[in-house]
Amino acid sequence: MRRVTVYDSRTRETRVFAPIHPPRVGLYVCGMTPYAPAHVGHARTMVVFDVVTRALRRWGYRVFYVQNVTNLDDKLIARAADEGVDPLALAERHFAAYRAAMERLGVHSVNLYPFATDYVPEILTQIAQLIERGFAYRAPDGSVYFEVAKFPGYGALSGQKIEALRPGARVERDERKRAPEDFVVWKASTPGEPSWDSPWGPGRPGWHIEDTAMTVRLLGERYDLHGGGLDLIFPHHEAEIAQAEGATGAAPLVNYWMHSGLLLFEGTKMSKSLGNVATLDGALDEYGAMTLRLYYLNAHYRSPLDFDPVKSLPEAREAYARLAQPADRIAALLARGGPEREGAELPATLADAAPAFVERLDATLAEDFDTRAAIALLFGWTRKLLESGVNWDDLSGPALAELRAPYDWGSEVLGLFGGPTGDAAGAWAEIVPVAIAARTRARARGDFAEADRIREALAAVGVRLEDDARGTRWSFASAP
RNA sequence: GCCGAGGUGGCAGAAUGGUUAAUGCGACGGACUGCAGAUCCGUUUCCUGGGGGUUCGAUUCCCUCCCUCGGCUCCA
């Protein structure tokens, strides 16, 4: 296992990552509440933790990645009522769409997507423990509240002081609570809502309790990594700590808290009321998965990132086109000739460089998942290959594979440089040269209209032609 | 008000107590080209919010001020 450092939001320091039961790693990431289509902000968080997981796995850690699905809460119930559908069915539908979008984005690292409503027994057990240990109390209407004053550590994660919260006065006065900062763990049911029986009467889980009930069940009373967006630190993650540590007595619940920076939209927070929400599917349609992933990963994961459809995204698209240029060309050559392909060996300036370079990539990323620095290195590799003036077309399979190695690393860890390979590429390899030959003849006799027609026809199906001194080259246009 | 993150070149955005302040995008000039694209060469060599302080030396450390953004129980 490689030495990895991780910045922990709770202790506010970067420490060497030491799992409780190496090489196993328990990772829990707060997923979305599927009451509306996923937006590009959700996707940033998911790509960040996808890369964390891919990297740890590459380095020998056995990561069990759990991402919860809050398939029942106030928003879902309200939205379902608007649409006149069952809230659980609404959640199911949006979750399916979310999964499909994640597939398009190349996020395949999650092991388990547990649904909140499948953990009601665990939730009831945990609430009973909290009441028994004096951390929670029952309200007259059958709701159960966590009593923040009973948990001295409350506020440690976010740096909030309870006294400081009260003057904020955004908390509505609620007669059922002993203090304004107390939060609900069990909500007495309102007629028409889904509800479950409990010792305190029919009701449904509060927002925070599902996570701790799931984590204790799936990852244990203490586990290694918890991720999520920065906006969840308070109160959600604060509440998780209070609930889990209160219920089990084991502390700390989580050894390393990782929070991803929020995505802004043209400089301000995305919100539905401002109408500045970009859906993930729309962004995938417009920019493609590779551009989006590069865009997300080309920023430090804790920094805010500005989603600007006319500036930052087109820039990312240009940057990706350059970065992936050698990767795509080498992949296309390997797909056609295969790894056994005959040809020249690498020039001395490039020979043996790749293994050391890949090691540098790993070492760089292992410093608190510095994807940006790793990408800067990959740009350096691209520049080195382009400036070397090597004739790709003449290289042997093993030589090409060596040049491709850093991009394979990028593919494995960052999820970049995907593209058609195997059979699909093979079929194109039969057809495209025929079209190129026809175009070359047309150009030779000066029939440029015909030549352009052929080029455009191929472009329409995703094959890009480029002429240079050696003739016409083709490649797959970066797939959107 | 409280908590937190920031203010770096035309833009995005790194890094470091001290040689030419990463990387990318963009721009300009040139090569190549039927066109386009890609690539290459050159230029963008006077960029670190204001003011103090520590230091031989600060963009980097300390203090202060100004400004921006986020959180403060809907939130990835």
Tens-digit pLDDT profile for residues A192-219: 889 999 999 999 999 999 999 999 999 9
How far apart CA A325 and CA A331 sit, in angstroms, is: 10
Query: What string of DSSP letters covers A431-468?
Result: HHHHHHHHHHHHHHTT-HHHHHHHHHHHHHTTEEEEEE
Is the alpha carbon torsion for A221, A222, A226, A231 positive or negative?
Answer: positive
Residue pair A251/A20 in contact by the 8 Å Cβ criterion? no
pLDDT for A83:
92
Q: Which nucleotides on strand B sit less than 7 A from a protein beta carbon?
A: 1-5, 11-15, 22-26, 32-41, 69-76
pLDDT for A166:
57
Average pLDDT, chain A: 88
Beta strands in A160-245 (DSSP E): 183-188, 203-205, 223-229
Answer whether residue A421 shows pLDDT above 60: no
Q: Which residues 398-427 of chain A have a CB under 7 Å from nucleic chain B?
A: none
Q: What is the ipTM of this complex?
A: 0.88
Query: What is the CA A13 to C1' B62 distance in angstroms?
Result: 21
SS (H, E, C) A27-53: EEECCCCCCCCCEHHHHHHHHHHHHHH
pLDDT for A479:
47
What does the CA dihedral A148, A149, A154, A158 come to, rounded to 10 degrees?
Answer: 80
**Strand B contact at CB of residue A470, distance < 7 A:** no
How large a percentage of chain A has pLDDT more than 90? 54
Q: What is the mean pLDDT of residues A288-298?
A: 92
How far apart CA A183 and CA A171 sit, in angstroms, is: 11
pLDDT for A244:
95
Confidence of residue A249 (pLDDT cuts 50, 70, 90): very high
How far apart CA A440 and CA A448 sit, in angstroms, is: 10
Question: Which range has the worst mean pLDDT, A206-220, A330-344, A367-381?
Answer: A330-344
Of all nucleotides, the one whose C1′ comes closest to residue A180's CA is: B73
The token duo for A93 is: 């539908």
Instruction: Identify the DSSP state of A15.
Output: E
Residue pair A126/A209 in contact by the 8 Å Cβ criterion? yes
∠ CA A398-A401-A406, nearest 5°, is 145
Q: What is the mean pLDDT of residues A45-74?
A: 95
Confidence of residue A191 (pLDDT cuts 50, 70, 90): confident
How far apart CA A295 and CA A109 sit, in angstroms, is: 19
**Strand B contact at CB of residue A379, distance < 7 A:** yes
Of all nucleotides, the one whose C1′ comes closest to residue A41's CA is: B76
pLDDT for A425:
56
Of all nucleotides, the one whose C1′ comes closest to residue A315's CA is: B25
**Strand B contact at CB of residue A322, distance < 7 A:** yes
**Strand B contact at CB of residue A434, distance < 7 A:** no
